[in-house]
Structure 1
């Protein structure tokens, strides 16, 4: 799982940025006959699309370290609780940033188009709400696990 988390953390931003190459999938329309976006516009859009997934990638790196600790037998520790909470917060933040990044990426791609061909798309999908819920749930789970770890340490100190 650690290797899979690292692979996803590195690969997801690349796949998100690759979405710029298919305007029909990204914007729902093809480029107008007057021409496509410049390379600079495509680079800006690629960075914008990769930004939310990079935040999630940071959380996945934290999860990779969690899986390494669990393989070593360190399961219910404060550090692992913090890692789960960080992953949940990163997932939550990435889900919040995705609609904004998509809107700005489409705007960056179409800003140079002739009047009537420019787009401003705002989209909220069920996927965004699912990721928000999962991220919030993981953050709460990490918080509860941290409190349980703290209580266990207190109990060990008493006994």
Structure 2
């Protein structure tokens, strides 16, 4: 049986380096955009009212916008966004390694696992964030008009399944890295 040994790290082809850089930078741009979008959303009456009317479960329910609800809403949004930001940072670091030619390393598997866990955590806290947001926006309403909405939809289940798939892929990758290292030592 013939074994082809590659020097460590594997020299990345130019296409992999380019894709790695694009994804790494793109993920960081998404992180920055998401962090900037939260205060912009909660500071603009027009954007916030449009978002509540079209994207929020409140719909046409009465709600109150004041500095307290805006500040609390921004904090709640950032809590809900935290797992996504973490997953994007892991994605950026993973593809940075790919751009450097570090493909078959155990740390990449751990990054993929962390991304999967972040997807699962994000899906699990999303209904809670939704509930806290509706309570926050309606807490200043008249008694009896406080709205508590809690919902689980298909995207939550899909995020959990995607997270589990990434965790499974990471587990397989750990074994693949181990086998790759064992085979690279055989000449």
Residues 57-66 or 15-24, more deviating? 15-24
CA offset digits 1:91-132 (Å, max 9, x no partner): 111111111111011111111210232101011111111111
Residue pair 2:119, 2:160 contacting (<8 A) in 1 also: yes
Instruction: Specify which structure has the higher proportion of helix.
Output: 1
Relative to 1, partners in 2 of residues 1:140 and 1:15: Cα closer, same or farther, differing over 3 Å? farther
- Report SS of the residue matched to 2:146: coil
CA distance in 1, matches of 2:148, 2:36: 24
- The answer to whether 1:24 aligns with 2:53 is yes
The answer to whether structure 1 residue 10 and structure 2 residue 32 are counterparts is yes
Unmatched segments (≥5 aa) in structure 1: none
Give the TM-score of the pair, scaled to structure 1. 0.86
Question: Which structure would you say has the larger RCO, counting Cα contacts within 8 Å and 6 or more residues apart?
Answer: 2
Q: Which runs of no fewer than 5 residues in structure 2 stay unpaired?
A: 1-22
Task: Tell me if structure 2 keeps the 8 A contact 1:45–1:106.
Answer: no
Describe the SS at the equivalent of 1:67.
Answer: helix
Which of 80, 94, 98 is matched with 1:70 structurally?
98
CA distance 1:121–1:13, change in 2 (3 Å): farther
For the pair 1:103 / 2:131, whether they are aligned, the reply is yes
Residue 52 of structure 1: CA displacement? 2.4
Partner of residue 129 from structure 1, selected from 157, 175, 187 = 157
Deviation at 1:14, TM superposition (A): 4.3
RMSD: 2.1
State the Cα distance separating 1:90 from its structure 2 match: 0.7
The alignment status of 1:140 with 2:168, answered yes or no, reads: yes
